[in-house]
A and B are shown apart, each in its own frame.
Chain A
Amino acid sequence: MRTRRNASLTALTFVIAIVLCFPIIWTAFTGFKNEADAIAVPPTIFVPLTFQHYWDGVTGEYVHYLLNTIIAVMTSIVAAFALGLPAAYKLAFFPGRKANDILFFALSTRFMPGVAVIVPIFLLYSKLGLIDSMFGLVIIYTALNVPIVLWLMRSFFKDVPYELVESALLEGAPHRTIFVEIVIPLSKAGLATTAFLLLILTWNEFFFAVNLTGQRAATLPVYMASFFTTEGQSWARMSAAAILAVAPVLLIGWFASRALVKGMLAGAVK
């Protein structure tokens, strides 16, 4: 009786999971159809499939926006780590009295809605010629990423045994050595989790990207928005492009979902 109920609940769970995922699966499938089949009523399943739309995607302008996105994401993650890791090290092991203030200040900057800062940034960027530049976008993304580095890496650093840091310090090792040779090697999983999370958030960021970039520096979310406006009628082409745009993050997310979940919760709960 009990096992029967368990089995049916397990089945139900997977049915719901597939239903929730269905829009994505259907979109991926539509990308393989011909345009006529993509909008056929009733919806078609057994039709000739083609790689053409995906191929057009990876050989077309998608590549330009993909590279932009990769550059913006990678540069801002590296910059955020460079700024945030030393701070997280101090906050984890030598919090002092101001630690909470710093952490909550950082958090409040992350949670500030983009519209509260966009006007002066837009004006300043126009003046400095930073509109539609990767550099301008990276400046903002780094600021969005630093608070997350502080919060998550502080809690991951706290998992490093305190005594290790303490004894090294009492033996006279400089902080740089402790940081590079003890703390960082013991926090690799945490670093990866934080980097994954930042990658997902920055990859998908839209508001600043659409306000501050044009053709040259636009990222994939902006590309998808304009694709929809200009070619929203070609469902198969658009579906393929949409799947290509989300694929990197989706694959990494699937691959890392368990670690990601664990890491995010560690940061949130501690």
Chain B
Amino acid sequence: MPPIRTYHELTDADRSGLPEQIGAQRRRVAERLAGVGRVIAVMSGKGGVGKSYVTAHLARALARSGRAVGVLDADLNGPTIPRLLGIDHAPLPTSQNGIEPATGQDGVRCISMALLLEDGAPLAFKGPAAESFVWRGAMEASALREMLGDVSWGSLDTLLLDLPPGMQRYIELCDILAAPPAVLTVTIPTPESRDAVRRAMRAAAERGSQLLGIIENMTGQGFEGSAGDDLAQEFSVPVLARIPWHPTPDTWSALGTRL
């Protein structure tokens, strides 16, 4: 038997064209986001620090200042943005060209898994149950890609991406987008939060994301620490806002002007 030729030595066209199909998906995202001024990922290495709350109110503040803003709720398993933007469920208009986003308070456009799932139902996929962790991550990344590339965002000044805790979704985003998104980091004052957020910021910096700054949330009572200042110094970025437990619209407006 002659030596068996390798994959790369077979040069006939591969009709499946899987790399080309993936390439087409990426182009679709890039074309869709061509009308978006900037994409900002709101992230934190820590859960429960108020990322979604900050994202929604920041989006509204930017919209009130006259900017066209969209929010993509990238927390596929715990989506909360529609509720925070006061969006009641209504079927999303759909055509061959894409899905129309929902519109929330102050005209903020939004897409979220919460708009697609049965009330109270978890995000579940068809497929073999055994060892589902093997494919579930890829399925969620595909859902994220479709939320970026199949929504008719139109012309936006800013698209905010509300990420779940941890780094996985951020890494998926970097793979899907042509360039790593700018990152806005949310922390609470505690050293525990600081340590978790530090890891996330370091990973984002290593991936090439621009670190826009830090928002220290839930300040003033209850939580002790200086996470915002510590991280700002360590990464040479500003603390863009310190959000008290009971912020006013001015709190958010001030943050909006600093972005």
Say whether A and B bind each other.
Answer: no
Q: Report which A residues bind B (CB closer than 8 A).
A: none
